[in-house]
C-alpha cells in the first residue's frame, strides 16, 4: 500500500493536531523508509519479477526487520516514545506510534502472503489485493479522498499558498503511486532502493507545508521540539 498510508496520517493529524504532518507522514511510512536502507545494506532481499503481480513486480522474499509484525510493534514503540520524550505531547506520541503500527496492517491487505509475523518464523500474512489493479486503486483512492476531506475540515488553510502546496504534494504522492503499476519495473534492486529512498522527501515537504500553515507569523521557537509540534 502507498497512498492509503498517507490517509492514516491525515486522519491522525485531526486526532493530534499539534503534531506536525511531516512527522505523521514519516511514521506511517517508516517501514518503507527503512526498507531501501536494509536492501542496500543486504539485510533484506527482494526479487524484481515483471509478471509477479498485476499491481507490483516486487517479490518480497525476505524483509523481517522492516516488515514483520513484531518489529513493527518495536518501531512503533520506539518512534512514539522518542516523539514523546522530545515534545512531551502524549496524544501526538500515540498518533505517531499507532501510525507506524498501521503500516503493517494496511500492507497486509494488499500484499500477497509475504509479511512475516516474527523474524525467523515461516508464517506469512497477506490478503493479496495487489492481484487486482482496479480494486487496489479503488480502495486506496477511497481512503485518501476520505482522509483529505477529514484533514481539510480539521485544518483549514490560512492563505492561498498553503492549499496550493498541499495539493501539489498530493499530486506528487499520487504520481509516485501510479508510476508503480503503469511504468516499467526498475532495472535492478539498487535502482529500486534509491527510488524508494526518494520517498523520504515526502515527509519533509509535508512538514514544511504544515509548518508554514501554522507559523504564518514566524513565531519564535519555544524549545527544541518546536519542529515536531505545531504550537
Handedness of CA 34, 117, 126, 51 (dihedral sign): positive
How much is the CA Rg of the chain, to the nearest whole Å?
18
140 is a site residue for Zn ion (CB under 5 A): no
Closest approach of Cβ 138 to Zn ion, in Å? 19
Q: Specify the residue for cell string 486522519.
A: 11
d(CA 44, CA 30): 15
The count of residues interacting with Zn ion (CB under 5 A) is: 3
Closest approach of Cβ 29 to Zn ion, in Å? 8
Which one of 54-62, 102-110, 130-138, 178-186 is the stretch in contact with Zn ion (CB under 5 A)?
102-110
107 is a site residue for Zn ion (CB under 5 A): yes
114 is a site residue for Zn ion (CB under 5 A): no
Closest CA to 27 of 65, 81, 63: 81
112 is a site residue for Zn ion (CB under 5 A): no
32 is a site residue for Zn ion (CB under 5 A): yes
* DSSP label of 200: G
CB 55 within 8 A of CB 33: no
Which one of 28-36, 40-48, 129-137, 180-188 is the stretch in contact with Zn ion (CB under 5 A)?
28-36
CB 63 within 8 A of CB 38: yes
Which one of 48-56, 101-109, 122-130, 141-149 is the stretch in contact with Zn ion (CB under 5 A)?
101-109
Chain contacts with Zn ion (rule: CB under 5 A) = 31-32, 107
Amino acid at each position: 500500500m502507498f497512498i492509503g498510508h498517507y490517509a492514516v496520517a491525515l486522519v491522525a493529524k485531526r486526532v493530534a493536531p499539534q503534531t506536525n504532518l511531516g512527522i505523521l507522514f514519516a511514521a506511517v511510512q517508516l517501514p518503507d523508509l527503512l526498507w531501501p536502507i536494509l536492501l542496500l545494506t543486504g539485510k533484506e532481499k527482494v526479487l524484481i519479477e515483471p509478471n509477479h503481480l498485476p499491481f507490483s513486480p516486487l517479490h518480497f522474499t525476505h524483509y523481517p526487520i522492516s516488515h514483520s509484525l513484531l518489529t513493527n510493534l518495536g518501531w512503533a514503540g520506539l518512534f512514539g516514545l522518542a516523539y514523546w520524550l522530545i515534545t512531551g505531547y502524549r496524544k501526538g506520541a500515540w498518533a505517531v506510534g499507532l501510525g507506524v503500527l498501521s503500516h503493517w496492517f494496511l500492507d497486509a491487505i494488499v500484499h500477497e502472503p509475504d509479511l512475516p509475523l516474527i523474524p525467523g518464523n515461516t508464517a506469512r500474512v497477506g490478503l493479496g489485493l495487489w492481484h487486482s489493479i482496479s480494486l487496489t486503486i479503488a480502495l486506496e483512492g477511497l481512503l485518501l479522498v476520505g482522509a483529505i476531506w477529514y484533514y481539510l475540515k480539521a485544518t483549514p488553510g490560512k492563505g492561498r499558498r498553503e492549499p496550493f502546496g498541499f495539493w501539489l504534494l498530493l499530486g506528487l504522492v499520487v504520481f509516485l503511486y501510479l508510476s508503480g503499476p503503469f511504468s516499467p519495473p526498475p532495472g535492478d534492486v539498487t535502482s529500486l532502493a534509491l527510488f524508494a529512498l526518494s520517498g523520504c522527501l515526502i515527509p519533509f515537504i509535508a512538514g514544511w507545508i504544515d509548518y508554514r500553515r501554522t507559523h504564518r507569523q514566524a513565531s519564535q521557537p519555544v524549545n527544541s521540539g518546536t519542529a515536531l509540534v505545531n504550537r
